[in-house]
Structure 1
Amino acid sequence: MNYINSLKKLVIGDNSVEKIAEILPISTEPFECKPNECINGYKESCFSLRGDAATVPLYESAKPCDLHFLVSTGKTDWEHDAFEENNNNILNKFSENVENFSNKLKISTKCNVTNEPLNISDPQCITLQKLDVLLLPWFVWIHGITEKNINDIFKGITNVITKSKENIELKGTEASLLIDELKSIEGLKVIKDLNSTYIMLCSHRTRDKKCGITAPIMKKEFDSQLRDLELYRDSGDDREGGVKVSFINHVGGHKFAANVLIYNKHGEFVWFARCTPLNVKFIINETVLHHKVYPANIRACSTFDPIKW
């Protein structure tokens, strides 16, 4: 279907700039900087693409979602299906619960694994019998999901969605609502994420070698520039207002690598593609800090209520 839509755009024209401008402000800055403006060394031809991967219009080749579940695994690469059934963990069960939850509430969801670290002091966390999950765009962590409490957790999330729909004043306070909903579940810890932005890069080498190559290079440049701005955060840094760059598994459209997914607590989701390290300066300065976008490289974008608590 995406190929057919792209073909139509090539034949009858593409009005994606107008569509995107109705969602987010368009930046007038160039998307690509000069190689000498990068902190690390790159050529202008880095990550060059060929054929339709370089020419097909990108907008609406992917879709934003209402809720994005990100499961910590401590890894940067995974099996071809990162959630495939495994008797030693509950990844598959969690993925099934997300799908059932999505179908029941008729909302769109994504479920990915990330390289976020595991609690090495808990054997159940190491074997993924107990999961830590970041829920975006609510910016809230759910620590300690097990096979026993997973149903109660999704009931709590459902209650939060119902409350925020019924009372518009609660929009953006979902993290606080979820903490209250789940506080009685023994062994569970639900906390607000203090970062202002999450940037996610597909590093799923087993699924596509290109992603396995491009993601670490992109992260190196993101981290370097964020350090200069005092916005870099690693897993041991819980200072408020930082920008976290994480690896995730396959998101689709690997031929458009590098794919860069961004959640701003300010209220924007942006999915860029065909990115190189020469685009990092724009993404940080224009999209992360000033909430503006470059339409030619957008696969999907949306807004949500700014996070408040």
Structure 2
Amino acid sequence: MGLLGKFFHHSSGNHEEEIKSKGFEISECSFECDSCTSKFPASLKFDEEAELWDSTKPFGLHLLVSTGKSDWPHDATGESNTLSNAVAKWGSDHSQKYSQIGNIKVSTSSLSSDEFLTDDDYIKEQKGDILILPFFVWVKGVTIKETSSVLSSLIPDLIKFRNEKVTDLQIPTTYSTSFPSVRFEIDTSKSYVFLCSHRTRDKRCGVTAPIMKKEMDLHLRDLGLYRDVGDNTPNGVRVAFINHIGGHKYAANVIIYLRSSGKIIWLARCKPNNVVPIIDECIVNDGKVWPNNIRLLQKLDPIDW
């Protein structure tokens, strides 16, 4: 089946009007780049037929715990006495309270923590880092015991600051007074891209995510947008791994956060030859998409700090 035929086969009505109503543009470029020669192993099988549109639920808050790893236990946030478990518990306990902004998603990530932790530290009460998206704010050096209090203090303020279109955000001194060992920092990245690499849950994600990241990093380097660990030069793009987000059969899943526009793009059935178009159209051109590969589109109020 040719590309055009495949497009219409999957997308009844292709959702173009819905996409535009959400504040996104339809890309006129091909979703495939002929110059990319990388491929997934032929042994991997994916669902190439099911409708992707709205195949996952909207969310308004995404909390990502830094672990420096690319694979986790089957229940990545289920192990007691870990920071990821404390964050997940806070998310579950507060989901109803913040229902007006959407579901709360909690993930473990390959992002590195500022704290130098050993493997055993994740089953002890140690400090760690949490990235709060789509607010592009870090909570660094927070302990398990502090997690609930810190998030309960910070999250309502971030929502308020965004609603009031606060610019040049300065973290209130009350946070520093109440939590003297915790650092609150603004993330100046242009975009974050997350790939499910949770091999323990599904081998396909463990195989496809590293291939996708390698291709993304190469193209981002060509564009001067790549940011390695420790490089905090503003307006870069960071690509990282996260645990299971649903839809293994649609791998590779790609979640993109765009800072300046508040757009969230969740693509699926992505292959290595889609990487260049994804970066050029979704990130550089601020949210141009292909109807056939969308699981979810959201446009939230942008932040300007």
**For residue 146 of structure 1, what is the aligned residue in structure 2?**
143
Q: 1:12 to 1:66 in 2, by over 3 A?
A: closer
Q: What is the Cα deviation at residue 42 of structure 1?
A: 2.3
Gapped runs of 5+ residues in structure 1? 1-9
For the residue of structure 1 that corresponds to 2:144, the secondary structure is coil
Q: Give, in whole Å, the separation in 2 of the partners of 1:16 and 1:294.
A: 10
Map Cα deviations across residues 202-251 of structure 1 (whole Å, 9 max, x no partner): 00000000000000000000000100111000111110110000000000
Equivalenced residues, count: 289
Q: What is the Cα deviation at residue 18 of structure 1?
A: 2.0
Structure 2 residue 186 is matched with structure 1 residue 192? yes
For the residue of structure 2 that corresponds to 1:132, the secondary structure is strand
Structure 2 residue 156 is matched with structure 1 residue 163? no
Farther-moved stretch of structure 1 (122-131 vs 286-295): 122-131
Q: Give, in whole Å, the separation in 2 of the partners of 1:244 and 1:179.
A: 27
Gapped runs of 5+ residues in structure 2? 1-8
Structure 2 residue 298 is matched with structure 1 residue 302? yes
Map Cα deviations across residues 81-131 of structure 1 (whole Å, 9 max, x no partner): 0011334x2322221111112222223110000011133546799436322
Q: Is the 8 A contact 1:270 1:302 kept in 2?
A: yes
**For residue 4 of structure 1, what is the aligned residue in structure 2?**
none
Q: Is the 8 A contact 2:128 2:140 kept in 1?
A: yes
**For residue 6 of structure 2, what is the aligned residue in structure 1?**
none
**For residue 220 of structure 2, what is the aligned residue in structure 1?**
226
Q: 1:162 to 1:121 in 2, by over 3 A?
A: closer
Q: Is the 8 A contact 2:196 2:252 kept in 1?
A: yes
For residues 1-309 of structure 1, the aligned pairs below 5 Å read: 13-14=12-13, 16-23=15-22, 24-34=24-34, 37-38=35-36, 41-43=37-39, 49=45, 53-87=47-81, 89-106=82-99, 107-121=102-116, 126-127=121-122, 129-160=126-157, 163-164=160-161, 168-170=164-166, 173=167, 176=169, 182-184=175-177, 185-266=179-260, 267-291=262-286, 292-309=288-305
Q: Give, in whole Å, the separation in 2 of the partners of 1:306 and 1:273.
A: 24
Alignment TM-score, normalising by the size of structure 1: 0.85
Q: 1:179 to 1:271 in 2, by over 3 A?
A: farther
**For residue 3 of structure 1, what is the aligned residue in structure 2?**
none
Q: What is the Cα deviation at residue 305 of structure 1?
A: 2.1
RMSD of Structure 2 on Structure 1 (CA): 2.7
Q: Give, in whole Å, the separation in 1 of the partners of 2:114 and 2:120.
A: 6
For the residue of structure 1 that corresponds to 2:26, the secondary structure is coil
Letter in 2 for 1:287: C
Q: Is the 8 A contact 1:33 1:279 kept in 2?
A: yes
Instruction: Provide the identity percentage.
Output: 41
Q: Give, in whole Å, the separation in 2 of the partners of 1:218 and 1:12.
A: 24
Letter in 1 for 2:90: N
